Each structure stands twice: as structure tokens, then as C-alpha cells.
Homo-oligomer: A and B are copies of this chain.
Amino acid sequence: MAGQDSNVRENAGTEVGEDQRVRRITLHDQVVTRLRDLIVEGQLAPGSRVPERELCERFDISRTPLREAMKVLAWEGLLDLSPNRGASVSEVSIEAVDEVFPVMGALEALSGELACRYVTDAEIEAINACHQRMVRHYRRRQLDEYFRCNQEIHEAILRAARNPTLARTYQGLSGRVRRMRYIANLEQSRWDQAVSEHEDMLRALHERNGEALAHILRTHLKNKLDAVKDYLVQRKGTTDAD
């Protein structure tokens, strides 16, 4: 009876569930994706102001779709908007990391539990294949490819949780954290640890041990964010006195 349910959604670009049947994507949707990538990849430095004019020229569009996109990114927390004073890329502070962690941690743990409940054998196999690819990239020290597989795995788990609301909520937060991986490059010891944690994940998924997977995902996230925080502390030390 409820026909309106599986409609095309906004921000299709970063959704976990893929409805790729949309051929005509609106301009501001593209802008949301492209602008988010710009921020996430650090091409727009945290704290820097973002005049509308500049972005209009860069994307070669008018202000209307750009502003609509900026509203969404402000809601996601990637931009700070001040009335009549414009937009600036939100800062990545240690406090922000500490603030985001418990929330993402709770969601990540939940996704682990739900994923173990609903994941299919085929999905586990696919995730396993992706994991093996990731390990190969890890051995060859191919950072970019490694990250791509890494994110693919996390998205697959999120998808296996069979909860679009969870996925959307998590992704909304992850943008703020994802860019940190560009800011803080992986140290070798942390990298070894991360791969080891991923092994644990796969095992828990195989055994469909939701509690274990939840715990691993949470720890995994915490370790990752701690690494980012270390980097931020260190960086702060170079600019501040003492």
C-alpha cells in the first residue's frame, strides 16, 4: 500500500545501499558528493572559509544548487554556517574526535550485532575476498588501495545489518572522521594492528558471533581514533609553545 517508500533518495552518492537506476541526477546532488569529497580529502583545509563565489566557479554552477548542497553538508557537520557570514570547513579537533567516538562506536557495535544476525554466506564470502585483496595491498604497502578495500568491508558489514537508517546515520557521521585518514597517515605499527583486527572481524562474522564482532568493531574504531588523536597532539605541539 505504501508506494512512496523505495523512492530515489537524496545524496545517493554515498549511500551504502545502491540504487543506481537513477540516470538523471540533479546538480545539487552531484555537488553534495563532490564538495564532500573535497572536504574529506582535505583539499579544503579545516577551518578555512569557503566563499560561495569560489565554489561556484570551481564547479561551474550557479549559487542556488550550491547553497542547497551546503545546507546538507552543514547538517552533516562538515561545514559551519553562520548567517550572513558564510561557511567554513569545520575543524578537526581532539575534542571533536572524543565527541564523535562514543556515538560512532555505539552505531558500529550495533551494526556488528545486526550484521551477524542477517549476513548471508554469499556476503561473508564476498567480504572475505575483499579482505584478502586488502591484505595483499597491505603486504605491498599500497595505502590507497588498502583504504579502498577497508572502506568497502566496513560498508559491506553496514549493509549486512539490513538497516538503512543505521547506515544513513553512520555515514552521516563517518564523513567527519573519514577525512582524518587523509590527515593522519597510518603508522606501521598501527597498520599491523588494524589488519590483525580485521582478521578478528572476519572470524567473528564467520561464527556469527554478534557480541564479539560488536566489541571488535568498537575497539577497532577506538584504536583508529586514538591514532588520529596522537597525530593531532603531535601536530599541535609543533605550532603551540610547549
CB proximity of A191 to chain B, nearest CB, Å? 27
* B residues less than 8 Å from A96 (CB atoms): 165
| Contact, CB under 8 Å: A169 / B166 | no
A122 sits at the interface (CB 8 A)? no
A240 sits at the interface (CB 8 A)? yes
Q: Which residues of chain A in 147-165 are interfacial with respect to chain B, using CB atoms and an 8 Å cutoff?
A: 163-165
* B residues less than 8 Å from A188 (CB atoms): none
List the one stretch of A35-43, A67-75, A127-135, A193-201 in contact with chain B: A67-75
Given A5-B93, A10-B71, does the pair A24, B169 have CB atoms closer than 8 Å? no
With A and B bound together, what is the CA distance between A8 and B106 in angstroms? 27
Given A5-B91, A102-B110, does the pair A26, B83 have CB atoms closer than 8 Å? yes
| Contact, CB under 8 Å: B1 / A240 | yes
CB proximity of A175 to chain B, nearest CB, Å? 12
Given A2-B93, A83-B24, A91-B4, does the pair A103, B10 have CB atoms closer than 8 Å? no
| A interface residues, Cβ below 8 angstroms from B | 1-2, 4-5, 7-11, 22, 24-26, 28-29, 47, 64, 67-68, 71-72, 74-77, 80-84, 88, 90-91, 93, 96, 99-100, 102-103, 106-107, 109-110, 114, 163-166, 168-169, 172-173, 239-240
Would you mind naming 21 contact pairs between A and B with Cβ atoms under 8 Å apart? A1-B240, A2-B47, A7-B80, A8-B83, A10-B74, A11-B75, A22-B83, A24-B84, A25-B83, A28-B71, A29-B83, A75-B75, A75-B76, A77-B165, A99-B163, A99-B164, A102-B114, A103-B110, A103-B165, A103-B166, A169-B173
- 8 extra interface residue pairs, beta carbon distance < 8 Å, beyond A7-B81, A72-B75, A99-B163: A4-B80, A4-B90, A24-B84, A68-B71, A100-B165, A103-B163, A103-B169, A169-B172
